[in-house]
Amino acid sequence: MPRNSPHPAWGALRTVFREPRLVRSLFSYLLFNTADLATWVALLVFAYDRGGVTAAATIAAVQLLPPALVSPFGALIGDRLRRSRALAVGYVLQAATLSIAATALWADVPMSLIYLIAAADAIAASLTRPVYLAALPTYVNRPRELVAANSVSKMIEEGGIFVGPAIAALILSKSDPWAVYAVFALGQLLAAALVFRRTSARTAKPGSEKREPLRLRAAFAGLRELRRTRGAALMLGYIAVAWFVAGGVELLAVVLAVDVLRAGDAAAGFLFSAAGIGGLIGATASVLLAGRNRLAPVVAGSMILAGVSVALTGMSPGLLVAGLLYLIAATGRSFLDVAAWTLLQQRVRPQVMARVFGLQEGLIYGAQAGGMIFVPALIALFGTTWAFAALGSLLPVACLFTWRRLHRLDMITAPAPGLALLRDNPIFSVLPPPDLEGLARCLQPLTARAGEIVIRQGQLGDRFYLIEEGHVDVTVDGIPRPSRGPGAFFGEIALLRNAPRSATVTAATPVKLQVLNRDAFLRAVTGSSRAEQYADEVADRRLAAARPRRPGDPY
């Protein structure tokens, strides 16, 4: 890269903010995260006022454990509907649960009912992030733009830690907790309006998107995808360990501030704020990953940075050093999240991506709760100082034992053979980058000698062909049609119409071809209404041109 040229990350970041759909999606995600943190604070305040520490701890558990169980299956909505529509449905559902909660808090209903409503609201909120992360790849054109979009999303999450509670505090200073819920219910309706996009008759038609049957088996497709996709289970494992440590560190912050450093309750808030700042710094800096070709070293470095920082925190001589270590640990976790999201978005099949991110969401909730539960046992066994060391060591140890698997992963992979052909092809150019990369991995090379027949008219067809090098001759009923060269394609009519081959194609020179089998071609084309529409138009034109059988017309 020339000395004075801008870093690729900045170009990717500019592109992110030039895409209107992506900007609307990011703003709606900001509304979601702000609502999530603001209502969390408001509910804890309400529970504490009603029942003290026990009620506050119970309401926290109610908001963590049910989503851990439900979100891996609830995220199915993101794979059954268009992603923009699924997001809108999720935001409307949250608006409904927030409205019900506002009414219940205002009416001062029994606490047992508040627990049920809080669980329903937490489950509704847990559906958003999986669908949102699955939708991001459809808004970008290049892998580095996907990294930039993930970085901005992480900035929004970390920024919500400050903005949400600040707004809640402002409302609570003038009113009661029910008002926080009422305000953010309106905010979720605005979020739904921002992301909802009506399907145009020109861009989609009934049945253009093929979906798997809605069976119980479909709910477990995310688990099956982890076995199928190399690196996916590893990344979810890293995220689970990181959030297990994060959950434990949150509880240890109170113990460290009050019992070890003797700095008082306010010092615990200082440590939480330091972690929030670190998360925001990490999310902002992670945009620099957009210029990298591999992210595996970043994942390892992030885990070691976060783990060592946590391990050293218990030995810190004072509050400022402890705060700095909390900041560094949160920075590492932000880097890890962005890198892991990017790998999953690039490798997981689009039709099950929301369910995979649903598994991630469930793991985050469960791991965070597990870390909090595990800390008292660690303190009882080792004391506070070594509890930090034991907890922090989990991340470097996990990285050490899985390093060989991690090292083999090119998280932003080199272009697969034939990817450029697909990207330049008018049928497939409308597909998002992860879909194109997955389709490129399905291509099979084929060569033909000059004079060799590649497909014969009247035969059944089961493959689609892209010409990489050389030229082919085309004949329909023995009448020559225009020859085709590099970048051209043939064989789509038999697959789209489930009919015999409509032409004979013969290698005019030695040719190199890239071939897609029937299932891969149809899955890619019918999975996008724009791709299917264009492919149908090409097939119609070629069939119409073949009927008059005039020399010189395209077949």
% of residues, the chain, pLDDT over 70: 85
Please list the ranges in the chain whose pLDDT falls under 50: 1-6, 199-214, 411-414, 549-555
Q: Which residues of 346-385 are buried (b: 16+ CB within 10 A; e: fewer)?
A: bbbbbbbbbbbbbbbbbbbbbbbbbbbebbeebbeeeebb
pLDDT of residue 471: 93
CB 15 within 8 A of CB 145: yes
In angstroms, the CA 63 to CA 364 distance is 12
Q: What is the pLDDT of residue 412?
A: 47
pLDDT computed for residue 422 by the predictor? 84
Q: What is the CA radius of gyration of the chain?
A: 27
Q: Give tens-digit pLDDT for 501-545.
A: 989 999 999 999 999 988 788 877 876 667 777 778 887 787 776
Q: CA–CA separation, 315 vs 389, rounded Å? A: 9
Q: What is the pLDDT of residue 291?
A: 58
pLDDT at residue number 211? 46
Which of 95, 101, 98 has the alpha carbon at shortest distance from 115?
101
**What domains does the chain contain, in order, with CATH numbers?**
8-143+158-199 (1.20.1250.20), 216-414 (1.20.1250.20), 419-546 (2.60.120.10)
Q: Directed axis angle between helix 353-407 and helix 232-255, to 10°? A: 90
Cα distance between residue 284 and residue 278, in whole Å: 10
Please give the pLDDT value at position 66: 83
* pLDDT tens-digit series, residues 419-447: 778 888 888 877 766 667 778 877 888 99
**pLDDT at residue 203, as a whole number:** 35
